[in-house]
Amino acid sequence: MSHFYKMVNGRLAAIFLFVTLFAIPMAQAQTDTIPPKLKKERVWKLSDYLQVHGFVDAQYDYALQPENNGTMTKKSVMMLRRARFEFTGQFHPMLDFRLQADLAFTPRLLDAWLRVKFCKYAHLWIGQIKTPYTMDNFLSPLDLEFVELSQSVAALAGFNDISGIPEYANGMEIGAMLSGTLVDYKKGDERIPILNYYAGIFGGAGINIKKDNLSKDFSARIDFYPFVKNFRLSGSVYYGNYPLYKDRDVPRNRWSGGAEYKGKHWTARAEYLQGVTGIAEDDPMTADSVYLVNTKGLYAFVGYWFYMGWGSKSNVQQRIRPLFRYDYYVGDKNNPFSKTNYFSFDLEWWPEEHVRVHLDYTLKCRADHKKPGHTFAAKVSVRF
């Protein structure tokens, strides 16, 4: 814990020092070009280059989980799921950064990147960033449609990774990535993208971990907008390995493909994911044996936004969205009892722009249990 705080404090200090050393000379240079009569009206503000944001998630879960003997286990949990604070800033039109930490449970550093925007074709990201695998991974928890990720995204995108490595968290890695718009067209004063890309080299060890090896991981995503408003097709890959044993790396390869429609009212997304992951063989007589797990899954959801005000004289808009998701998952294609089908019903409500309320019910049908499970979740998010 103390190591984490020292690391975060050190990085925060470095960021503030860099902002101060960079911004003050720039402000002074701009002031020198202003006529004497106007100099008093020009005031440099740190807020022009640095902003502070954050949000807090409070959640309650109630679950009924079937056991092998036919009984039902009850679980009731209240938790502060997330408490995130972030610093974002733009030193120059070509240079911005983001630094984010989560203080809930075990505090840890999440986003920590610097981006150089050379042109629309090439943005260079350096630091700890989201890997461009799947459409869900780049979304903030405040933008995700359901309380929980789909099973396949959680298992293959580095949240609750199938490998069991706890450092694979939040879909992030340390590395460098290029992104940009390869093809677009002009409509009025707006540039509409047709083909976007993301491609990067990553350490492959998870967040806040350095990895001493010659081979690095590769991840890329292509988003295609086929001249249909609010619609995109997406495909992504992740190829790499991780050290299962002291002197042996094993595969951690994944790919996905999907489509999304996001309009003012209707929202829908579907994605298929598949991956091969090396894990330790369950044979105590075989030293350093490896078993390749073939994992696959599919999720699809649809939702509809309703917009309304608090009253005829109110300018405060609230919005409500009911959603339904089907979530199919196979943890290991060689194990017929690893198949699950989840059916989720969710009600998302924004009473105003800083408060979000989720009510969620999931019916869990598992091949290894005769009875289905049930999960109820309620979550309140407050952002600032």
Rounded Cα distance between 35 and 32, Å, is 8
pLDDT at 15 over 50: no
Kindly state the average pLDDT of the residues 259-270. 96
Residue 312: its pLDDT value, please?
A: 57
pLDDT single digits (tens) 277-289: 998 876 655 556 8
pLDDT at 217 over 80: yes
Residue 57: its pLDDT value, please?
A: 96
pLDDT single digits (tens) 293-311: 999 999 999 999 999 876 6
By percentage, how much of the chain surpasses pLDDT 70? 84
Kindly state the average pLDDT of the residues 264-272. 97
Three-state SS string over the chain comes to: CHHHHHHHHHHHHHHHHHHHHHHHHHHHHHHHCCCHHHHHHCCCCHHHCEEEEEEEEEEEEEEEEECCCCCEEEEEEEEEEEEEEEEEEEEECCEEEEEEEECCCCCEEEEEEEEEEEECCEEEEEEEEECCCCCCCCCCCCCCCCCCCCHHHHHHCCCCCCCCCCCCCCCEEEEEEEEEEEEEEEECCEEEEEEEEEEEEECCCCCCCCCCCCCCEEEEEEEECCCCCCEEEEEEEEECEEEEECCEEEEEEEEEEEEEEECCCEEEEEEEEEEEEEEECCCCCCCCCEEEEEEEEEEEEEEECEEEECCCCCCCEEEEEEEEEEEEEECCCCCHHHEEEEEEEEEEEEEECCEEEEEEEEEEEECCCCCCEEEEEEEEEEEC
pLDDT single digits (tens) 31-86: 444 444 444 455 566 667 789 999 999 999 999 998 877 788 999 999 999 999 99
Residue 267: its pLDDT value, please?
A: 97
Q: Using alpha carbons, list the distances in angstroms from residue 184 to 24, 177, 191, 197, 307.
A: 37, 21, 6, 12, 31
Q: Using alpha carbons, list the distances in angstroms from residue 33 to 30, 119, 126, 134.
A: 6, 28, 34, 48
- Choice between 33 and 262, residue whose per-residue pLDDT is larger: 262
Kindly state the average pLDDT of the residues 109-123. 95
- Choice between 223 and 23, residue whose per-residue pLDDT is larger: 223
Residue 372: its pLDDT value, please?
A: 94
Q: Which of 7-16, 160-169, 212-221, 263-272 has the highest mean pLDDT?
A: 263-272
Kindly state the average pLDDT of the residues 346-363. 95
Kindly state the average pLDDT of the residues 345-367. 95
Residue 138: its pLDDT value, please?
A: 92
What is the average pLDDT value for the chain, to the nearest integer? 86
What b/e sequence results for 110-120 when a residue is b if at least 16 CB atoms lie within 10 Å of its CB, and e otherwise?
Answer: bbbbbbebeee
Phi, psi (5° rounding) for residue 258? -165, -175
The angle at the Cα of 149, spanning 57 to 202, to the nearest 5 degrees, equals 100
pLDDT single digits (tens) 157-213: 999 999 988 889 999 999 999 999 999 988 888 888 999 999 999 998 889 887 776
Asked if 299 and 153 count as a contact pair (C-beta separation under 8 A), the reply is yes
6-20, 213-227, 313-327: segment of lowest average pLDDT: 6-20
